[in-house]
Amino acid sequence: MKKLRPALAALALVATAWLAPSRAAAVPKMDVKLFFGVGSTTFVPRLPDVELPDPDTGEPILVGGRHPATFTNWGGGLSARVRADKVFGEIGLAFTRFKFRISRTLVAIAAAEGNPIDPALEGNSAQMNSLELPLTAGYVPYANPYFKIYLYGGLVNNFNLKGFVKRDGGGEIKFRPKDIPGYPLSIYVAGARLGTQFDLGPFNFDFNYTINMNSATKTDFRTNTHVFRFYLGWLF
C-alpha cells in the first residue's frame, strides 16, 4: 500500500489539473455601459471648381474643391459589451447631435439650383439630431481585475433625423435632412469605426474615429465625414 501512495498522489494531481476549468472555457462576462461624450465632425465636400454668382452682389465667386469644415458634436447612450477571454463584442444605441455652418458656398449652390436659402440664415450654425447603432468587436491585449485595454473596430449605422437652425433675431427653423437646399444630408450614413477603450474600475474611457462609407449628402458630388469622439462611461 505504501508503494501505491506516490502513484495515487500523482494520479490525483493529473486528474485535478485535467478537470480544472481552462481559460478558454471561462464564462463570458457582460457589461452594460451608460456613456456621454463630445468630439468633432469634419465635412469634406468634393466639389468641382465652378464659378457661381454671389446671391447678394452678383459678382462671380469660385466654388468647389475640397474645403474641410470642422464642427463640434456631442452624444450619449447605452451599450452592452460581452467579453470572453481575449475577445469581445459590443452593440449600442446613441443619440448624437452635430453642428454645421450655413456658409456662403452653401448659399451659392442653393441659389444656382433654384432652391435658395433664406439670406438671413447665412453664417448661422445649424444642428442635426441623429441616432447611432454601432456594432463592434475586438481584442483585449491586457486585463487585470482593475484595469483593461480594448482594441476594436466595426460598423456604425447613423440615421439623421431632424435639424434646426436659430435665427439671429430670434426664432427657430426646423428641417429634415433632405430639406437642406443645395446640400441635402443623407438620412442613412454607414460608417467604419476604429477605437480603443480603457476600463478603470467602473469607469470606461472610449476614444474612436469614424469615416463614412457612403456620401453624407444626396448630391452629385461626394461628401466625406471624419468623426472623432471621446466617451466617458459607467459600467454596470
Please report which confidence band the pLDDT of residue 175 belongs to, taking 50, 70 and 90 as the band edges. confident
Mean pLDDT score, 113-130: 77
pLDDT at 68: 87
Of 55-64, 143-152, 179-188, which one has max mean pLDDT?
A: 143-152
Q: Which of 11-15, 110-114, 184-188, 213-217 has the lowest mean pLDDT?
A: 11-15
Asked whether the predicted pLDDT for residue 113 surpasses 70, the reply is no
Can you give the residue ranges of every domain in the chain?
Answer: 28-235
Contact 138, 152 (CB under 8 A): yes
All three cell numbers of 25, joined, read 472555457
Q: The CATH number of 28-235 is which of 2.60.40.1120, 2.40.160.20, 3.40.1710.10, 2.102.10.10?
A: 2.40.160.20
pLDDT at 45: 84
Mean pLDDT score, 11-15: 47
Backbone angles phi, psi at 207, to 5 degrees: -115, 125
Asked whether the predicted pLDDT for residue 2 surpasses 70, the reply is no
Asked whether the predicted pLDDT for residue 76 surpasses 70, the reply is yes
Mean pLDDT score, 20-40: 81
For residue 147, give the amino acid letter. Answer: F
Mean pLDDT score, 213-234: 93
Report the mean per-residue pLDDT for the chain.
84
